[in-house]
Amino acid sequence: DVKVTQSSRYLVKRTGEKVFLECVQDMDHENMFWYRQDPGLGLRLIYFSYDVKMKEKGDIPEGYSVSREKKERFSLILESASTNQTSMYLCASRQTGAYTDTQYFGPGTRLTVL
C-alpha cells in the first residue's frame, strides 16, 4: 500500500513564526503536491514538485515556499506565518504507470496561526 505521512496532525504557531510542514512518501514517486483545504473552497494547489530539487508554483503560492532535497520528502515552508494561513494542509504523492495515474493523500496537518 502507498503510504503518505505528514509530520504533525495539529500545529499551533504565532504570527511571524517560520513554519515547516513535512511530508514523506515511501513509494519512490517523482511527483508530490501540497494543497490547502478550506471550507467552501475545496482543495487548492500551493506548490508541486516533479523531481528532486524541482518545483513549480500552483494556484496560490504566495506566502509559501517548498523544498525537495530527497525524493521521499517534500517540505512546505511558511516564511512568516499569518492568521490567513490557518488551514488544513494536505500533501499528496502521485503514482503513475501504464494503467494508473492517481494521487495518494496524507492525513493532513491542521495549522492554527494565532
Which residues lie near another protein (CB under 8 A)?
4, 31, 33, 40-45, 48, 50, 56, 58, 90, 92, 94, 96, 101-108
Cα–Cα distance between 37 and 50 in angstroms, integer? 21
The answer to whether residues 102 and 93 touch, using CB atoms and an 8 Å cutoff, is no
In angstroms, the Cα distances linking 8 to 30, 33, 65, 91, 94 are 23, 17, 18, 12, 21
Query: Shortest gap between Cβ of 80 and another protein (angstroms)?
Result: 27
- Please identify, using beta-carbon distances, which residue of 24 and 90 lies nearer to another protein: 90
- Please identify, using beta-carbon distances, which residue of 42 and 53 lies nearer to another protein: 42
SS3 category, 58: coil
- Please identify, using beta-carbon distances, which residue of 12 and 80 lies nearer to another protein: 12
Query: Shortest gap between Cβ of 15 and another protein (angstroms)?
Result: 27
- Please identify, using beta-carbon distances, which residue of 6 and 75 lies nearer to another protein: 6
DSSP assignments along 71-92, one per residue: TTEEEEEESS--GGG-EEEEEE
Query: Shortest gap between Cβ of 93 and another protein (angstroms)?
Result: 11
Query: Shortest gap between Cβ of 17 and another protein (angstroms)?
Result: 25
